[in-house]
Structure formats: C-alpha cells, structure tokens
Amino acid sequence: MKIKLTEKENNSTIEKMKSHWNLGPEKASSDPKDNGEYWKKMASIWNVSEKEARRRLCSNCKHSCCTEIDLEQMEFVPYNEYDKYGGGRTYCEEFNFICHNLRTCQDWESTCDYVTESDDTMTMKEMLYGK
C-alpha cells in the first residue's frame, strides 16, 4: 500500500482547516451545552438552528471515510493533541486528512438524501414524516 498522507501534511491540513473552513470545536464534546460559541457560529454559517448545527458532525458527513487505505493511513499517522477530545478518528476524503467524529467543518454534507422512484430526492425526515 502507498501511504498518501504524512504526519506533516496531516498537521498542515488541520491548521488550514481551522483557519479557512472552521474545523472545530478545538475541545470537542458530546455534551449539548459545551462549545456554545463555536456551534452558534456554525449555525449562522449554515443558516440553521444551533440544535441542527450540533447534529452535523464528521461522523455523519458524506465525505467521511472509509476505504482500506484510509484506515491504514489513520493508523500510520501518530496520535497528537488534536486526537484528545475528538471522539475518535475518521478520515476526510474531501480534504485528505484525519478528522474526528465529534468535530465538523463548514463543508459538512449530509449522507441522508435518498432518491425515490420518481427521481425526487427526499431527506430522511421527509421519508419518515412526509413532505
């Protein structure tokens, strides 16, 4: 297997993601009261409620993981400070770096659109409760 991602590249991308794509929160947490300032900012960027913003995590982003190569790369890059509060590693296919389940960035995209027989797309909520 060819390793695509070095520790240096990973760290450099994390810094760029923090500066340009609002990767965060720095000290991620599953407590719905934590990191209010960060989640309010993301809610404003996405034009959704804070409650909705807090649902949008790398863990459920469509760009998140996982080919066999991604999994091997996650093991190849040593653990660092950013792993401490991330809730576990996943791999960002969009920006090619190791992201974390409890973080997000402003490029988050849903995995929950379904194509119906008539070719309309429906969200998970619409599928369950109707349009």
- Chain contacts with ligand SF4 (rule: CB under 6 A): 58, 61, 63-64, 92, 94-95, 99, 104-105, 107-108
Sign of CA dihedral 91, 97, 99, 105: negative
Q: What are the tokens at 53?
A: 């913003």
Tell the smallest beta-carbon distance from residue 20 to ligand SF4 (Å). 11
How many C-beta neighbours within 10 Å does residue 20 have?
A: 10
Torsional class of 74: left (φ above 0), alpha (ψ -120 to 50), beta (otherwise): alpha
Furthest-apart CA atoms within the chain: distance in Å: 48
Q: Which is nearer to ligand SF4, 55 or 116 (CB)?
A: 55
Q: Which is nearer to ligand SF4, 32 or 98 (CB)?
A: 98
70 and 93 in contact (C-beta within 8 Å)?
A: yes
Q: Which is nearer to ligand SF4, 72 or 94 (CB)?
A: 94
How many C-beta neighbours within 10 Å does residue 7 have?
A: 12
Tell the smallest beta-carbon distance from residue 130 to ligand SF4 (Å). 29
Q: Which is nearer to ligand SF4, 55 or 125 (CB)?
A: 55
Tell the smallest beta-carbon distance from residue 131 to ligand SF4 (Å). 27
How many C-beta neighbours within 10 Å does residue 2 have?
A: 5
Tell the smallest beta-carbon distance from residue 119 to ligand SF4 (Å). 26
